[in-house]
Structure 1
Amino acid sequence: MDTQSLPAELRTALDRFSGYLERERAVSAHTCRAYLGDLAALFAFAAGEGAAGLQDLELGTLRRWLGAQSQSGASRATLARRAATVRAFTAWAVREEYLESDPALRLRAPKRERSLPGVLQAGQLQRLFQDLEESAAGGDPVAVRNRAMVELLYATGVRVGELAGLDADDLDFDRRTLRVIGKGNKERTVPFGVPAAVAVDDWLRRGRPQLVKDGSGPALFLGVRGGRVDQRQVRSVVHGLFEAMGDTSASGPHALRHSTATHLLDGGADLRAVQEILGHSSLATTQIYTHVSVDRLRKSYQQAHPRA
Structure 2
Amino acid sequence: MTHGIEPVAGPDTWPAHVLNRYSVSYGSPELRIVSEYSLRELFEKYGDILWEPGKHKYNVTFFIGELDELLMGRRFSAFTQDMLDELIGKLRARGNSNATINRKMAALSKLLRKAYKMGTIHSLPEFRRQKEPAGRIRFLDHDEEERLFAAIRKRSEDAWRLSIFLVDTGCRLGEALNLTWNDVQGGRASFWITKSARSRTVPLTKRALSVVKIPKNGYEGPFAMLRQASFRAIWNEAKMEVGMGDDDQLVPHALRHTCASRLVQGGIDLRRVQMWLGHQTLTMTMRCAHLATNDLDPCVDVLERKPRRRKAG
Shared fold per TM-score greater than 0.5: yes
**TM-score, structure 2 normalization:** 0.74
Distance 1:200 1:77 in 2: 35
Q: What is the match of residue 218 of structure 1? A: 220
Q: 2:166 aligns with which of 153, 178, 186?
A: 153
Check conservation: 1:160, 1:234, Cα contact below 8 A.
no
Structure (1 or 2) with the greater helix fraction: 1
Check conservation: 1:153, 1:257, Cα contact below 8 A.
yes
Q: What is the match of residue 3 of structure 1? A: none
Q: What is the match of residue 198 of structure 2? A: 186
Q: How does 1:80-229 map to 2 (within 5 A)?
A: 80-102=102-124, 104-105=125-126, 107-108=127-128, 110-130=130-150, 135=154, 143-172=156-185, 175-181=186-192, 182-183=194-195, 185-201=197-213, 204=214, 212=217, 216-223=218-225, 229=226
Q: 1:29 aligns with which of 50, 54, 58?
A: 54
Q: Which amino acid aligns with 1:150?
A: S
Distance 2:178 2:301 in 1: 44
Residue identity (%): 22
SS at match of 1:127: helix
Q: Which amino acid aligns with 2:280?
A: S
Size of the alignment, in residue pairs? 268
Gap runs ≥5 in structure 2: 1-19, 22-36, 307-313
* Structure 1 stretches of 4+ moved >6 Å: none
1:20 aligns with 2:49: yes
Check conservation: 1:242, 1:252, Cα contact below 8 A.
no
1:72 aligns with 2:69: no
Structure with larger RCO (C-alpha < 8 A, sep 6+): 1
Distance 2:281 2:220 in 1: 32
Deviation at 1:241, TM superposition (A): 2.6
Check conservation: 2:188, 2:202, Cα contact below 8 A.
yes
**TM-score, structure 1 normalization:** 0.75
Q: What is the match of residue 267 of structure 2? A: 268
Check conservation: 1:54, 1:98, Cα contact below 8 A.
no
Alpha-carbon deviations, 1:111-132, whole Å to 9, x = none? 1222234111122123334555
Q: Which has the larger radius of gyration?
A: 2
Check conservation: 1:157, 1:260, Cα contact below 8 A.
yes
C-alpha root-mean-square deviation of aligned residues, in Å?
A: 2.8
Gap runs ≥5 in structure 1: 1-6, 136-141, 224-228
